[in-house]
Amino acid sequence: MVADMKTSLCGIELDNPVMAASGTFGYGLEFAEIYDINILGSFSFKGTTPQPRFGNPTPRIADCTEGMLNSVGLQNPGVDAVIAEELPALAKVFHKPVMANVCGGSPADYAEVAEKLDQCSQVGWMEVNISCPNVKSGGMAFGTDPGAAAEVISAVRRVTRKPVIAKLSPNVTDIAEIARACEAAGADGLTAINTLLGMRIDLKTRQPILANTMGGFSGPAVFPVALRAVWQISRAVDLPVIGCGGICSAENVLEMMMAGAAAVQVGSANLTVPTACRDIIGDLPGAMEKYGIRSLKELRVR
Q: Which residues bind another protein (CB under 8 A)?
A: 23-26, 30-31, 33-34, 46, 54-55, 58-68, 70, 72, 75, 209, 219-220, 268, 270-275
Pick the closest to residue 116 from 173, 76, 78 (CA basis): 78
Q: Which is nearer to another protein, 66 or 289 (CB)?
A: 66
Contacts of 197 (CB under 8 A, 6+ apart): 133, 140, 171, 214, 215, 216, 217
**Least separation in angstroms between CB 274 and another protein:** 6
Q: Which is nearer to another protein, 13 or 30 (CB)?
A: 30
**Least separation in angstroms between CB 204 and another protein:** 9
What is d(CA 221, CA 217) in angstroms, rounded to the nearest whole number?
9
Helix (H) or strand (E) holding 241: strand 241-244
**Least separation in angstroms between CB 22 and another protein:** 11
Pick the closest to residue 71 from 55, 83, 85, 82 (CA basis): 55
Which of 132, 182, 244, 277 does the annotation list as catalytic?
132
**Least separation in angstroms between CB 224 and another protein:** 16
Rg (CA), the chain: 18
Q: Which is nearer to another protein, 39 or 258 (CB)?
A: 39
Q: Which is nearer to another protein, 72 or 262 (CB)?
A: 72
**Least separation in angstroms between CB 66 and another protein:** 6
Asked if 183 and 159 count as a contact pair (C-beta separation under 8 A), the reply is: no
Q: Which is nearer to another protein, 70 or 265 (CB)?
A: 70
Q: Is 132 marked active-site?
A: yes
Residues with a catalytic annotation lie at 132
